[in-house]
Amino acid sequence: MQAIEFDVVVVGCGIAGLSAAITAQQNGARVAVLERAPQDERGGNTRYTESFWRMKSEDAVSDDFEDRFAANAGGWPDPGVLRDAVRDRENQPRVLRALGLADPHLIATIAEEAPKALKWLKEFGVKFDFLPLYFLSQSTTRMGPIGGGLALIEALGAYADDRPDDIAIFYETAARGLIHNDEGAIIGIRAVGPGNKPMEIRGRSVILASGGFEGNQEMLSHYMGPQAQFIRPVARGGHYNRGEGVAMALEAGAASCGDYGSFHAQPVDPRSTDIEPVVLNYSYGILVNDAGQRFTDEAPGMVDATYEAVARIIMGQRHGIAYAVFDAGLDDVENWPVTVRSRIPPLEAGSLDELAGLMEVDARDFSATVEAYNQACPVEEKFDPLRTDGLATTGLALRKSHWARPIVRPPFKAWPMICANCFTFGGVKIDERARVINAEGDAIPGLYAAGEVAGIYYRVYTGATSVMRGAVTGRLAGEDAARRRNSREEQR
């Protein structure tokens, strides 16, 4: 089998992969891109997301950007080790350089580079603005590309398509393993193309930008247990993300980073074929499981900051399903339909018993749940759907903290909800140049990771940062990989 030679090999064709490939090409490298999907579905998760960026303007990230990452940086690290994190990487102890937590230097780099990445994307004709959300209100600032992630893929993809001699994209081709040389550097990829045809694509550097493992049931079960059967990708692009990039890097000795037992969860309508069919109106009603019982506080805070935790609790219910239940009072919430992205109508009935039948839950248990909730609701005085209004239940073991109003007025409605997986958190450690760090704290020569392959999230997703992370880390990887290629030429 003859190897195909390039300067840089990129695995993945989403925002991270395309940003890496084009940046490397713009810096003089000849690039190969491996993409599992066919051309008309290229782009991974990016293709299907609205791609919000946690920014207050085109020139700056949100005021809470670094604070939110610090609050979810990874468990309770040893303070005796962590105190050295303020040092430059070269002066940090090796154990810290490989530690599995969100690196403050990397987060600061993403914050600094995000405006540059945004302006770079605008050079391809992409326009950014403060766009309508599926939240009625929000706890931070977000902007995004007009046309969402698809606009990014189409703009960058068109650029690559116009330069086939510089950027060769191998579609329906999956990476299988890394190729090492005798000095431990990464020099290529073993892959399989259409018809299970083996391939070797070699290059001075390899950039893994192939997404997480949300499309790999075996890996999900390995890291998350039996509940993985109730998790599915939130959009079609996630099915192409099967974790090879993460697995190959770990096999090559990469240090792990990010929360392998968690993922960016979203509550969606399981009946819907729509892209990202989220149901985010539930805080104005109650949530019941398939036993007809409440199981969580439906409104612990603003929905944009709490829906992920609620979705994971839904995943833990019997059969992994819940129902968001409302009465006619939902219509008191102006513009509530923007919070539901499923075009399938809710279950609707003239009585609670009839609604229980449609939900296939026990009518007596469901009625008892609603009655207990109704009696615990306050006298309505200051209902305000756009802020946390403090209308809380009293006397219930499971408190509802805000927007608690009795469910008494027909018609009654219910949306089924499951927990969907937008992307997984577990990945590998990278530095500020997107080089993969091994378990000893050293960079693996020739190996880079970008986007979901680079783990930075723990427990709770720092909203509106994933596509931003992909663009920034992709550009960092592409630039450094091209630099390695150029330095090789200078030595000739």
Q: State yes or no: pLDDT of 13 exceeds 80.
A: yes
∠ CA 418-343-384 to the nearest 5 degrees?
75
User: pLDDT exceeding 70 applies to what percent of the chain?
Assistant: 99
Under CATH, to which class is 267-420 assigned? alpha beta
Which residue's structure tokens are 């191998």? Answer: 170
Q: State yes or no: pLDDT of 409 exceeds 90.
A: yes
Q: State yes or no: pLDDT of 4 exceeds 80.
A: yes
- Terminus-to-terminus CA distance in the chain, angstroms? 28
**SS3 assignment, position 187:** strand
Query: What CA–CA distances, in Å, run from 115 to 16, 54, 55, 111, 423?
Result: 16, 11, 9, 8, 24
User: Residues 48, 211: contact at Cβ < 8 Å?
Assistant: no
Domain boundaries of the chain, sorted by first residue:
4-262+425-490, 267-420
Q: What is the largest CA-CA distance in the chain?
A: 81
The pLDDT confidence band at residue 189, using thresholds 50, 70 and 90, is: very high
**SS3 assignment, position 274:** coil
- In the prediction, which pLDDT does 488 show? 58
- In the prediction, which pLDDT does 105 show? 92
Query: What CA–CA distances, in Å, run from 374 to 103, 285, 291, 314?
Result: 47, 11, 18, 22
> pLDDT digits over 62-89, tens only?
999 999 998 888 888 888 877 887 788 8
CATH number of 4-262+425-490: 3.50.50.60
DSSP 88-150: -GGGS-HHHHT-SS--HHHHHHHHHHHHHHHHHHHTTT--EE----SSSS-SS--BEETTHHH
- In the prediction, which pLDDT does 134 show? 75
- In the prediction, which pLDDT does 168 show? 98
Average pLDDT over residues 96-107: 89
Q: Each residue of 78-94: b (16+ CB within 10 Å) or e?
A: eeeeeeebeeebeebee
**Mean pLDDT lowest among 116-120, 221-225, 366-370, 377-381:** 377-381
- In the prediction, which pLDDT does 491 show? 37
Average pLDDT over residues 359-368: 97
> pLDDT digits over 254-270, tens only?
999 999 999 999 999 99
Q: State yes or no: pLDDT of 492 exceeds 80.
A: no
> pLDDT digits over 376-400, tens only?
999 877 899 999 999 999 999 999 9
The pLDDT confidence band at residue 413, using thresholds 50, 70 and 90, is: very high
Average pLDDT over residues 172-180: 97
> pLDDT digits over 115-168, tens only?
999 999 999 999 999 987 777 777 688 999 999 999 999 999 999 999 999 999
Average pLDDT over residues 42-69: 95
Q: State yes or no: pLDDT of 247 exceeds 90.
A: yes
Q: State yes or no: pLDDT of 414 exceeds 90.
A: yes
User: Residues 124, 156: contact at Cβ < 8 Å?
Assistant: yes
Q: State yes or no: pLDDT of 490 exceeds 70.
A: no
Are the folds of 4-262+425-490 and 267-420 the same? no
SS3 labels along 19-30: HHHHHHHHCCCC
Rounded to a whole number of angstroms, the CA Rg of the chain reads: 24
Average pLDDT over residues 316-336: 96
Q: State yes or no: pLDDT of 25 exceeds 70.
A: yes
d(CA 361, CA 371): 16
- In the prediction, which pLDDT does 489 show? 46
Q: State yes or no: pLDDT of 467 exceeds 50.
A: yes
